[in-house]
Structure 1
Amino acid sequence: MERLETVDDIVELYCVASSPGKSRLYVGLGSLFLVFAVIGVWVPGWPTVSWAVPAAFLFSMSSEGMFRLTLTNRYFGSAMFDYYATGKTIPQHAKYATVGLIALMASISSYFVWLVSTKGDGVLADPSSWNGADPGFGAGTVILVGLIGMWYVGFRVPTRE
């Protein structure tokens, strides 16, 4: 695919807000996610960014004007423009960093899940003393999901040349 050069070219190819029904759906879901993000400001442990990012995505897809605003935003517009202009690709270094962060966070998360739910109050060197309620499925699930994410980013997301 050749690189798209203008915002108009990108909007013409990728803007999906072609029907009022889709627009309302995207605005409705974006509003719901935004409410969840605002709740995260006050409720400890409730994520904020994890809800705000999809909300921004849904709002940008809700109308051509919002999509244009996303592509021309002074803070992150150039990255979004490059992503769409090159056919929804990411640079190789970003791919490495993303896969590395997924591996790191999945490892840390699975360790803490194992520590709390499998090991419990037991002694590390004596597995028979582990008194947690989970035989290891929680930590294994976190590792499996992390591996799927690493595979997806590594092999399914196109790399920018």
Structure 2
Amino acid sequence: MKKKIFTFLGFLFLGFGIIGAFLPIIPTVPFILVAAYFFEKSSEKFYNWLLNNKYFGEHLKDYRVNKGITKKNKIIAILSTIFGMTLGMFFMPFIIGKILLLLILVGVIFHIINVETIKK
């Protein structure tokens, strides 16, 4: 039963990650990382599929297996996060929402900077 729940959660978070690739307010990478966690615990087949995916497999391997991010991907991640969150803040009608997005932006950038930089 636990494996079925974790597999379901893996697909749920994968779906959120895919949606996040198209909507600037929803982050992609954290959802894909959570999906990888749930697939790792529930289904070797889906976990391997995720790690070998042509769109984000290499980035997942870097983060989960090699425990880091390349310098190029750090720059891309920071710039795309700034772009997406700034766009989200622009359209956010509530000041508290803008403040929350700004705090999330700062936290994500802080995390990306502090992750080990790996060389390829």
TM-score, scaled to structure 1 = 0.50
Are 1:138 and 2:97 matched, yes or no? yes
Quote the Cα distance in structure 2 between the aligned partners of 1:85 and 1:54.
8
Q: Is the 1:27–1:58 contact (alpha carbons within 8 Å) kept by the matching residues of 2?
A: no
- Aligned residue for 1:79? 58
For 1:30, the aligned partner's letter is G
Are 1:64 and 2:44 matched, yes or no? yes
- Following superposition, the deviation at residue 89 of structure 1 comes to 1.3
- Aligned residue for 1:27? 7
Q: How does 1:63-142 map to 2 (within 5 A)?
A: 63-73=43-53, 75-76=54-55, 79=58, 82-83=61-62, 87-113=66-92, 117=93, 134=94, 136-142=95-101
Q: Is the 1:30–1:55 contact (alpha carbons within 8 Å) kept by the matching residues of 2?
A: yes
Quote the Cα distance in structure 2 between the aligned partners of 1:150 and 1:93.
14
Residues 42-96 of structure 1 deviation map (CA, whole Å, 9 limit, x = unaligned): xxx8x9995x8468525631223333333445x2486157516862211001101
Paired residues in the alignment total: 109
What percent identity do the matched residue pairs reach?
Answer: 17
For structure 1, list consecutive stretches of 5 or more residues without a partner in the other structure. Answer: 1-19, 118-133
Q: Is the 1:59–1:66 contact (alpha carbons within 8 Å) kept by the matching residues of 2?
A: no
Q: CA RMSD in A?
A: 3.7
For 1:24, the aligned partner's letter is K
TM-score, scaled to structure 2 = 0.63
For 1:28, the aligned partner's letter is F
Quote the Cα distance in structure 1 between the aligned partners of 2:98 and 2:56.
37
For structure 2, list consecutive stretches of 5 or more residues without a partner in the other structure. Answer: none
Q: How does 1:3-18 map to 2 (within 5 A)?
A: none
Are 1:147 and 2:99 matched, yes or no? no
For 1:88, the aligned partner's letter is K
